[in-house]
């Protein structure tokens, strides 16, 4: 993680308060903006990423396709599109489908995030950045939901929470095939 990365600090209604160093925000548990992207292929498979061993928290855990934080000058959507390109080497259309706020202990850090959720569809080639992503795989939602319930320790905490809250919506999205 670049020490000069800043996150957008917000109140519970997502009103911007300011900016803070990303690592400091996670150490202090300060509420900040984040995004999570769920990309499906045209067969209805969700693309998962296994986080790189180099990640400062939750290394080598499976998670949604892409997640991150908008920079102070970015919108949620522009930040999500940037991270899809940086982490996975892809460009695709995305659409918002929800928000979730959580306060989760992750090792010695705290993920206190106002997280905007996006979905999209992509059938092309992925070019993962090995500093960000250890591997990717395509999965059907029902077996994934079963495995997350049986083996939550293999997944990031926020991904487990989002799947619990939004499983019905994600199942509908997986059948859409396109935006």
Q: Of these residues, 66, 67, 87, 111, which one is catalytic?
A: 67
Active-site residue 113, yes or no? yes
At residue 107, φ and ψ (nearest 5 deg) are 65, -130
Cβ atoms of 138 and 46 closer than 8 Å: yes
SS3 at position 1: coil
Cβ atoms of 115 and 158 closer than 8 Å: yes
Cβ atoms of 41 and 124 closer than 8 Å: no
Instruction: Report CA 82 to chain centroid distance, whole Å.
Output: 13
Q: Of these residues, 66, 87, 111, 113, which one is catalytic?
A: 113
Element (H, E) at 121: strand 109-121
SS3 at position 94: strand
Residues serving a catalytic function are: 67, 113
């Amino acid at each position: 993680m670049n020490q000069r990365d800043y996150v957008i600090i917000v109140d519970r209604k997502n009103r911007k308060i300011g900016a803070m160093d990303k690592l400091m925000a996670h150490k202090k548990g300060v509420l900040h903006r984040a995004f999570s992207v769920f990309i499906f292929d045209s067969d209805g498979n969700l693309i998962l990423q296994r986080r790189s061993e180099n990640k400062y928290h939750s290394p080598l855990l499976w998670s949604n396709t892409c997640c991150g934080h908008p920079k102070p000058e970015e919108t949620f959507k522009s930040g999500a599109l940037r991270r899809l390109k940086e982490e996975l080497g892809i460009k695709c259309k995305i659409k918002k489908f929800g928000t979730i706020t959580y306060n989760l202990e992750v090792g010695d850090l705290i993920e206190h995030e106002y997280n905007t959720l996006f979905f999209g569809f992509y059938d092309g080639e992925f070019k993962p950045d090995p500093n960000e992503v250890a591997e990717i795989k395509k999965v059907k939602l029902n077996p994934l939901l079963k495995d997350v319930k049986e083996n939550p320790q293999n997944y990031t905490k926020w991904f487990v929470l989002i799947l619990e809250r939004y499983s019905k919506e994600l199942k509908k999205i997986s059948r859409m095939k396109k935006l």
